[in-house]
Amino acid sequence: MPPLAWLAIAVVAAALAYLVGWPAWRSYRTREARDLNSERYLAWRGRAPRGSRPTVREGMTGDERRRIYGGAALVVLAVIALVAFFATS
pLDDT tens digits for range 34-73 = 766 667 677 777 776 666 555 556 778 889 999 999 999 9
Task: State pTM to two decimals.
Answer: 0.73
Please list, in sequence order, all residues whose beta carbon lies within 8 angstroms of the beta carbon of residue 50, skipping any fewer than 6 positions away. Answer: none
The residues spanned by each domain of the chain are 3-48+62-88
Is 70 within 8 Å of 16 (Cβ atoms)?
Answer: no
Nearest CA to 21 out of 60, 56, 64, 78 is that of 64
Is 56 within 8 Å of 35 (Cβ atoms)?
Answer: yes
Average pLDDT over residues 6-16: 97
Q: Model confidence over 74-84: pLDDT tens digits?
A: 999 999 999 99
Q: Model confidence over 13-36: pLDDT tens digits?
A: 999 999 999 999 998 888 877 766
pLDDT of residue 7: 97
